[in-house]
Amino acid sequence: MDSNSKKKTTNIIFLGLVSFFTDASTEMVYPLIPLYLTSVFGATPALIGMIEGIAESIASLLKVYSGYISDKFQKKKALAFLGYSAGMFYKIALLIAGSWIGVLFARVIDRFGKGIRTAPRDVLVSESASSGAIGKAFGLHKALDMAGAALGILVAYILLRYGFSDYKKMFLISIIPAVLGLCIFFLIKETKAVREQTSRPPFWKNIRSLDGRLKLYLLVVLLFTLGNSSNAFLLLKAKSVGFNDISVVLLYFAYSTTASILSLPLGRLSDKIGRKALLVSGYLVFSAVYFGFAIAWNQPFLVSMFVLYGVHTAMIAGVERAFIAEIAPTEIKGTMLGLQATLAGVALLPASIITGLLWSAFGPVVPFVFGAMLSLVAALILILFLGKQKVNTSTIDGLQ
């Protein structure tokens, strides 16, 4: 590995470590949110779905604009730093929340920060990738990201398991890793692309000229997310089969650990066999997971579903970003990465509301079957219509 490749890899590791500590902070409290809402404020599944859906959708509107701004002004690092900083304010808002409305406000702050940082961070990752190894780059970042999530969940579990059950003190402790992540951020190097200063129309005015696979995949993301509601419902399902508040947290740890372990090897695999195989497999695995949640009758079976859900995340999360970064035109790469995140986030509002309403009306089986069926349709569309056109980039073909 030459010195330039080492520098690029180091930059990806620093980006991953920022995500590691930020996710450790976030996931220390995320599994507690549905428990906090139900036990302290008496929230129903429908209300939890509304809170999660509103928070994700409002913030997700920012993702495409954040990507557009990073493309236009090339201030990727500054935008990402602003987004990561919101993590501290999120915990402060949780500390002072006196009702479910306050929790909603805190969740919006958290998702607001994610909406700002997602696209510029992903561009930084793609620009730090070596030629032909963009899947590996996103896989490495996702592995560190999910490892941080697993650490945060484990800390939450240990504290709860040994009697530290004060929710607000947990929120306060979670600020520490958020600050560590911000400190590491200053070590990241930003690539300054040399571009002609010409006037460019917004991408939506020339959307017909975009790669057909990119447009198709964005539509598939929208469809799939309509059945992929908030993970809070997975935790509620776990409680319905006998897991208590503490053991539910450990289930989420199993999910995150699995995703962390598999993200890098699956990212590398996508560099070798193409993105399509991994994306299709990921949607099929998700469908199996949601069917499993629908029929789960005992605790061991549900544990296996959380592990399989981690496999799905490792197959999809980094690979789809690599796919989009690879086929999007260079001058709007951030915009396209942001648009993908925006579509997924916007669809999460109706998805979470639908899941909450179906759960309240029919119980947990129907909403999970609904999500499984939509994922099957998404996989079928990719199999039938996502073609093998050549990619006009300097990297390898994303689909083979």
DSSP state of 128: T
What percent of the chain clears pLDDT 90, i.e. is strictly above it?
32
Q: Is the pLDDT of residue 398 over 70?
A: no
Report yes or no on 397 lying in a domain: no
pLDDT band at 257 (very low <50, low <70, confident <90, very high): very high
For residue 181, is pLDDT > 60? yes
300 falls within a domain: yes
Report the range of poorest mean pLDDT among 9-13, 202-206, 377-381.
202-206
Please give the pLDDT value at position 194.
Answer: 46
| CB-based contact 263:338 (threshold 8 Å) | no
* Helix ranges (DSSP H) in the chain: 3-29, 32-41, 45-73, 76-96, 100-127, 134-161, 167-173, 175-185, 212-225, 232-240, 245-273, 275-295, 299-327, 333-362, 365-385
Q: Which residues contact 317 (CB under 8 A, 6 or more apart)?
A: 142, 259, 263
pLDDT at 48: 78
Question: The domain that contains 242 carries what CATH number?
Answer: 1.20.1250.20
Per-residue pLDDT band for 251 (boundaries 50, 70, 90) equals confident
Residue 202 lies in a domain: no
Enclosing domain of residue 360: 3-188+208-385
CB atoms within 10 A of CB 179: 13
- Whether 390 maps to a domain, the answer reads no
| Number of domains forming the structure of the chain | 1
Query: Roughly what angle, to the nearest 10 degrees, separates helices 232-240 and 299-327?
Result: 170
- When pLDDT is averaged across residues 163-173 and rounded to a whole number, the result is 80
Q: Helices 3-29 & 134-161, crossing angle to 10 degrees?
A: 30
Average pLDDT score over residue span 50-62: 73
| 295-301 contacts at long range (C-beta below 8 A, 24 or more positions apart) | 295/365, 296/237, 296/241, 297/241, 298/241, 299/241, 299/242, 299/243
How high is the pLDDT of residue 200? 54
Query: 310-349 pLDDT, tens per residue?
Result: 999 999 988 998 999 888 888 788 888 888 888 887 787 7
What is the per-residue pLDDT across 84-111, written as a single tens digit (0 to 9) for each? 998 888 988 988 888 888 888 888 888 8
pLDDT number for residue 399: 40
CA angle 337, 343, 345 (to 5 degrees): 100
Instruction: Output the average pLDDT for the chain.
Output: 83
**What percentage of the chain has pLDDT greater than the value 70?**
89
| Tokens 């309240």 -> residue | 360
**Does 316 or 191 have the greater pLDDT score?**
316
The dihedral built from the CA positions of residue 201, 202, 203 and 205, taken in this order, carries a sign that is negative
Is the residue at 203 inside a domain?
A: no
Residue 98 in tokens: 């006196």
For residue 394, being part of any structural domain is answered with no
Per the domain annotation, does 371 fall within a domain? yes
| Residues 338 and 119 sit within 8 Å (Cβ to Cβ) | yes
pLDDT at 208: 62
Query: Is 282 part of a structural domain of the chain?
Result: yes
pLDDT at residue 199, rounded to an integer: 53
CB hemisphere CA count around 350 (13 angstroms): 10
How many residues does this entry show for the chain? 400
